[in-house]
Amino acid sequence: MPATKEKKTTKSSSNNEFDTATYLYWLKSMLLMRRFEEMAGRLYGQQKIRGFCHLYIGQEACVSGCVSALKEGDKYITSYRDHAHPLALGTNPDKIMAELFGKVTGISKGKGGSMHMFDKEKHFYGGHGIVGNQIPIGAGIAFSEKYNKTDNLCVTYLGDGALRIGAFHEAVNIAMFLKLPVIFIIENNGYAMGTSVDRTSNVTELYKSGLSYDIPSEPVDAMNVIKVHRAISKAAHLARSGGGPSLLEFRTYRFKGHSMSDPAKYRSKEELESYKDRDPIEQVKKMILSKKILSQDDIDTIDKNIKDQIKNSVEFSEKSPYPGKEDVYTDIYVQKDYPFLRE
């Protein structure tokens, strides 16, 4: 379900409304992310998926609203919580699931696993396991777009914990100085692993972290996909018009722990339930039902079809082979015949 064109809005007599295709994209893309991640969590418990695994459950609007607001050719880069982004961009779920299984049919040929998804065709540049590593790379991608005089921009996601590293400040500074077409998105889910924002930062309104660089900055209720779409549209217009970067603090929440090994005992049940009451998928369902775009039976059918699609992805992954021993030496350097020391 790729969004390859900028979504347009149509005006009614009283307010601005998004077209039916956009509402359906939000529903289908977020349901795909949710059901995929739920399956990944079950498979991890069965030890069919191993290593690190970070789920995106609860944060789906951060990606869906972004993709719906942008256009074909725009670039995306994120950290290690990276399954949802290629799904929203239209990558075949078979390839993402196979990568989680470490199979050769995976999107990174079984060598990257959960934290290192890449899809060049969909303009998705990872998937980075080192905290904050993607931030200056995102600025570099934006520099390339400006240098080549394209109309594209780069969306650079980072977590609230990554905000503490020096590379964030270096990247924001040079992006403003050179007026790079980059949108920095802080996905503030309240916790850097298990440590809350107010225990790690003197400034808890994280969008203010960019104010010393004069970068346009604002907070966004990222549990609401419409608010995400509108904030990204505004930032994209600025970037494409030569105005440079923006910094958005997406205030969101993950319904699961930091990773599969995290029981999330550092937060209360009441806190979790308060955010589940604002579930971004349930909000979109209510919009679609109230506008009579679909019936509940239609939504249930879409959900069932997505679950069946993911079951097929699991079967595909289970049947796929692992990389061979000879693959250890491939995809390391551009030079095909690099003289590795093999003994």
pLDDT of residue 5 exceeding 60, the answer is no
Which neighbouring-strand residues pair with 30?
none
Q: Is the pLDDT of residue 189 over 70?
A: yes
Could you check whether the bond before residue 242 is cis, i.e. omega within 30 degrees of 0? no
Q: Is the pLDDT of residue 242 over 50?
A: yes
The crossing angle, in degrees rounded to 10, of helices 93-100 and 296-319 is 50
Query: Beta strands 75-77 and 154-159: pairing type?
Result: parallel
Is residue 283 in a domain? Answer: yes
Question: For 278-290, how does the pLDDT look when each residue is reduced to its tens digit (9 = 90+)?
Answer: 999 999 999 999 9
pLDDT at residue 221 in the model: 97
Residue 310 lies in domain: 48-318
Residue 118 dihedral angles phi and psi, to the nearest 5°? -140, 145
Residue 111 in any domain: the answer is yes
Side-chain-facing half-sphere of 12: CA atoms under 13 Å: 7
pLDDT digits (tens, 9 = 90+) for 228-240: 999 999 999 999 9
Residue 314 has φ and ψ, to the nearest 5°, of: -65, -45
- Residue 338 falls inside a structural domain: no
Angle between helix 61-69 and 20-45 (nearest 10): 140
* 236 inside domain: yes
The answer as to whether 333 is a domain residue is no
Buried b (16+ CB within 10 A) or exposed e, 233-253: bbbbebbeeeebbbbbbbbbb
pTM of this prediction?
A: 0.91
Residue 331 located in a structural domain: no
Whether the per-residue pLDDT at 3 is higher than 70: the answer is no
Distance CA 280, CA 297 (A): 20
The count of other CB atoms within 10 Å of the CB of residue 216 is 17
Highest mean pLDDT pick, 8-17, 52-61, 122-131, 301-310? 301-310
- 52: in domain: yes
The CATH number assigned to the domain holding 268 equals: 3.40.50.970
Instruction: Give the number of domains in the chain.
Output: 1
User: What pLDDT does 16 receive?
Assistant: 55
Residue 328 falls inside a structural domain? no
- Which of 6-20, 117-131, 138-152, 231-245 is predicted least confidently? 6-20
202 — pLDDT class (breaks 50, 70, 90): confident
> Is residue 23 within 8 Å of residue 284, measured between CB atoms?
yes
Phi/psi class of residue 244: alpha, beta or left (left: φ > 0; alpha: ψ in -120 to 50)?
left
Distance CA 310, CA 255 (A): 20
pLDDT tens digits, one per residue of 42-93? 999 999 999 999 999 999 999 999 999 999 999 999 999 999 999 999 999 9
